[in-house]
Structure 1
Amino acid sequence: MSGERGVDGLSLEEKVGQLLHVGIGNGYGETDAGWPAEETGEVIRDLQPGAVRIYGSHRAGPYAMAEYANRLQEWAAGVDHAIPLLLSADCEYGTVDVVGHGTRAYPSLMGRTVTGDPGLAREVSAAIARDARSMGLSMTHRPVADVHTNPDNPVIGVRSPGTDPATVSRYATAALEGIHDAGALGVAKHFPGHGDTELDSHHDLPHVTDDRERIEEVHLPPFEALIEAGVDCIMTSHVLVDAIDPDRPATLSEPVLSGLLRAELGFEGVVVTDAMMMDAVAENYGVGEAAVRAVAAGADLVLTGYVPHEDLRETRDVLLEAVETGDLPESRIDRSVERILALKERVADGRQVDPIEALEVTGSEAHRSLAREAYERSVTLLTDDGLPIREDDTVLLTGVRGVGALKPHFDRAFGPVVTCSLAPDGTRTGDSKPATVPTADALPTVRDLAAGVDRAVVTTYNREGVPDFQRRMVEAVAGEAPTTVVSLGLPNEFPGLPEVGYLATYLQDRLGLPDPVPDAAGRAIVGVLREPPAVRESLPIGE
């Protein structure tokens, strides 16, 4: 970072600023058109944060997103120390979670695992990182390293590579290697493991009740493997781990961060908090108090989430006050800043990006081809009852998600297609929003429609327990026509369904990402329905 100062040349205010990972998007810090608002420029000039996390799917394409990132970096270049920002986003499925068009989705981590090919998983991860870097995003908050051991887990699901530590270690490491292949920074999450919880830390404070032995045998190995592989950052979880610290969530726990992660596992990189706006922390601690507790515990970058700018200033001011009063030693701040600056040195070439290059990278045929291959190999056929569907068959396409996105693919592949979407595409079915959850009133309709077709396809989605309505919906349709279920989320409902065809896609998480169903995924689904591959004997997770 030529011309910029190291930690010794920074004032206390500038050092504290480097610890802030502020959020922008979803109505915060942006204009109505989705462009960084001038008030965000004021925050960058005033607080001088070390990083900015971009939230929300923007209507802009890759060219505009590159200009968006350049604008943020221009503001950072205008402050006294001129240290570039780390710009980040999740990108678990690709840059589709921040860019509304012109880029593409890739299979979930679990979808990549079921291909049985860590090399392909690495290629996909590298392609996502290249897309992100071309638009100025040097840090992606992935890979997820949680072992999905609890079938009722409402937040991890298909975001995890799998259900056993060996599988998760192998595929999370492949993902990290791909990130590094593209010259980007990876953030493993959610330490020390969010895979065995029954609550979503966005809304509640989950407990991990496993004993220390099980934590060490099941949940820590993926993080140990990633540390061995040189992971850049590790994100904390807002989870109470009773066997280590029953009083404080991991994000605020010195025994978890300084003790377990630093001293025992030997991690020397940057510790990033999960978003402090999440209810698990926000509902139990004040904004500033939580930041001080996290840094005192061992965190380096405090991810605020998308919050009002006054909350950002309060976070900075309370951190400053804690140092000035001696509650937080300045030497502790210095250690974090040294790590953050060292991280920035590795991506210092990314201050400004070329919007034309962003178009070329994200629109490349190589990336399109890779996405198609990855989706084709990730779809898993567990039973082929009612298949194949012939091109002249009349088909009912119904279900709780994806009907509208799948219809054009069905129209091209089959005879007359009757569609009946039982919840508007994009709704978060299962999120306890009665206005968008289908009711039993729809069952007679889909039963009548099924009676008039040759074949039926029903989309299902669940992220934890199997919704009773969906089971009854499948039973109603299957009673009238040969039926195939296309599972868009976790395939947990499979054992409880009648004898129907069953296709697992591992496509969507708790937010319905990627939404709508990507074209590459739609083509892969139709391809299996027309030409069924060999049936798998069991769910291919944990192999």
Structure 2
Amino acid sequence: MIDEHAVDELSIETKIGQLLHIGIGLGHFETDTGWPAEEMADVVDELRPGAVRIYGTHRAGPYAMAEYTNCLQELADGTDHAIPLLLSADCEYGTVDIVGHGTQAYPSLMGRTATGDPDLAREVSAAIARDACSMGLSLTHRPVADVHTNPDNPVIGVRSPGTDPATVSQYATAALEGIHDVGGIGVAKHFPGHGDTELDSHHELPHVTDDRETIERVHLPPFEVLIEEGIDCIMTSHVVVDAIDPDRPATLSKPVLTGLLREDLGFEGVVVTDAMMMDAVAENYGVGEAAVRAVAAGADLVLTGYVPHEDLRETRDALLAAVEGGDLPESRIDRSVERILALKERAGATDRRRVDPVEALEVTGRETHRSLAREAYERSVTLLADDGLPIGGNDAVLLTGVRGVGALEPHFDRAFGPVVTCSLAPDGTRTSANSKPATEPTTDALQTVRTLAADVDRAVVTTYSREAFPESQRRLVENVAEEASTTVVSLGLPNEFSELSGVGYLGTYLQDRLGLPDPVPDAASQAIVGTLREPPAVRESLPIGDR
């Protein structure tokens, strides 16, 4: 049992260590085979972190991931304080986000909203949390509670449940309820709202220019509802909210984290920063300075991101120096540690210190999860325009586009007559967590697909946008549509729907800016093919709320 009231018995080094939420993966603290490296043991022993975030897609399966998390917990158990770790990952689409083999993908939050069924959304969220907990991940960084009000937003998109506060509140709450149903820990993000920005905080420092009334009316309600529902953690945004604190991003702002979140909204749980390695913070502050500012502002857990050992040491040393120098009262550190230890107790961290790898295989491989994913994908696909559907079983079909062609191809081969495929995204490989697959077809490719379209009965074109619809993709659709009856399958935000005419159109809300989940899951591919073969009634509007 973890006693949050025994904080006085911990050394100041151990207490500060509990505030560190360090990252592993993507070449940091892992061996070439994707296992925690010896350096990770040194990091845990020296810095005594309270939490570890796992990054990257590990190609091993659930059994190996359970062993991986057990290894991390064993490292913590070997320290002098032996306090278990909180182990986390994003898992917005399921544990497929970090375990690429033998795990189940589910629709994005916006896709779950498109089903029109909060109960189904809750079931999906519970299944994700059940999979994560079986592998030792008690804390998943979800639900997104940002209201997607800006169609030019480059970072939120389909990760948000929708475009108005009521819709976002309803479906974010359903997600939280599902997490709590199986004993998981929820993290609402990105406070006080990242939905009305035109910059990506991974790369730049965005500003929210809305007035205070708009913030309170549009962007805060989902967080207020989640606080009422008992959200465990809230993640900060690296966004400057001009109406509240025009000088600092929310992560480093006492008026935002203490004044607004703690005092005005009454949140008593754990405040965790977004990754401090993101350029919005890293390019403007030193790692140590940023950590001190965040804790002084009201943050409890400092998510470092996947950074080198020396950056972690600098973060710890800066916090220690701030306490010893009187800039951060030790009582302030104690309060954060109390919250963190209480969270670990609620998460059953001691009882779950070691998980059963065989059970992880059984949980993630259960048929009920696969059938739930199939149902969710089938109900999330939205037919917004019908250009002569259905596609017949003997029709010759051209399948082309900027994403997902390779994953869709075998499903098209089984469903239709002769299928010609032409992928215009030859390299979908990401070299880091924030690099993006190509989505810009070349001029030569446009001529190729036009020639191919002339020899088929029907054409299906995959598109992707997360802000303005790329002109090259518009030309792709227009070139194909001049030669064959065409249906567009939008894999991102359906921003382009109003800009296209004379074609069929399916919204899938499937992928975010990184192409996750990648490749297109089989269940999603089956849902797309099923809609093309047996189209439902055309929707009159997007089922994701009103802007």
Task: Give the TM-score normalised by the residue count of structure 1.
Answer: 0.98
Contact 1:6/1:341, CA 8 A, preserved across alignment: no
Task: Within 5 Å, give how 1:51-450 maps onto structure 2.
Answer: 51-347=51-347, 348=349, 349-424=351-426, 426=428, 437-450=440-453
Contact 1:427/1:436, CA 8 A, preserved across alignment: no
- 2:479 is matched by which residue type in structure 1? A
Task: Within 5 Å, give how 1:464-479 maps onto structure 2.
Answer: 464-479=467-482
Alpha-carbon offset, residue 498 of structure 1: 2.3
CA distance in 2, matches of 1:434, 1:82: 42
What SS is found at the alignment partner of 2:186? strand
Deviations 1:340-389 (A, max 9, x none): 00000012221100000000000000100100000000000001113100
Alpha-carbon offset, residue 435 of structure 1: 7.7
CA distance in 1, matches of 2:437, 2:226: 41
- 2:156 is matched by which residue type in structure 1? I
CA distance in 1, matches of 2:285, 2:542: 41
CA distance in 2, matches of 1:193, 1:213: 14
CA distance in 2, matches of 1:478, 1:180: 48
CA distance in 1, matches of 2:152, 2:6: 47
Alpha-carbon offset, residue 427 of structure 1: 5.2
> Which residue number corresponds to residue 504 of structure 2?
501
Q: Residue 128 and residue 422 in structure 1: after superposition, are their counterparts in 2 closer, same or farther (change >3 A)? A: same
1:460 and 2:463 equivalent? Answer: yes
CA distance in 2, matches of 1:493, 1:436: 14
CA distance in 2, matches of 1:540, 1:502: 14
1:541 is aligned, of 519, 544, 547, to 544
CA distance in 1, matches of 2:242, 2:80: 45
* Residues paired across the two proteins, number: 541
1:6 and 2:9 equivalent? Answer: no
Alpha-carbon offset, residue 80 of structure 1: 1.1
Contact 1:51/1:85, CA 8 A, preserved across alignment: yes
Alpha-carbon offset, residue 81 of structure 1: 1.1
Alpha-carbon offset, residue 443 of structure 1: 1.2
Alpha-carbon offset, residue 156 of structure 1: 0.1
Contact 2:88/2:138, CA 8 A, preserved across alignment: yes
Q: Residue 517 and residue 433 in structure 1: after superposition, are their counterparts in 2 closer, same or farther (change >3 A)? A: closer
- 2:481 is matched by which residue type in structure 1? A
What SS is found at the alignment partner of 2:187? strand
Q: Residue 296 and residue 221 in structure 1: after superposition, are their counterparts in 2 closer, same or farther (change >3 A)? A: same
Contact 1:402/1:425, CA 8 A, preserved across alignment: no
Contact 1:461/1:487, CA 8 A, preserved across alignment: yes
- 1:268 is matched by which residue type in structure 2? E
1:34 and 2:37 equivalent? Answer: no
**Which is worse superposed, 494-503 or 400-409?**
494-503
- 2:513 is matched by which residue type in structure 1? R
Q: Residue 82 and residue 226 in structure 1: after superposition, are their counterparts in 2 closer, same or farther (change >3 A)? A: same
Deviations 1:60-88 (A, max 9, x none): 10000000000000000011111100000
> Which residue number corresponds to residue 484 of structure 1?
487
Contact 2:208/2:240, CA 8 A, preserved across alignment: yes
Alpha-carbon offset, residue 3 of structure 1: 8.7
Alpha-carbon offset, residue 434 of structure 1: 11
Task: Give the TM-score normalised by the residue count of structure 2.
Answer: 0.97
- 1:22 is matched by which residue type in structure 2? I
What SS is found at the alignment partner of 1:6? helix
Alpha-carbon offset, residue 202 of structure 1: 0.0
Alpha-carbon offset, residue 442 of structure 1: 1.3
Contact 2:384/2:538, CA 8 A, preserved across alignment: yes
Deviations 1:201-236 (A, max 9, x none): 000000000000000000000000000000000000
RMSD of the TM alignment (CA)? 1.4
Alpha-carbon offset, residue 438 of structure 1: 2.3
Structure 1 residues without counterparts, runs of 5 or longer: none
CA distance in 2, matches of 1:355, 1:494: 45
CA distance in 1, matches of 2:410, 2:119: 32
Alpha-carbon offset, residue 4 of structure 1: 9.3
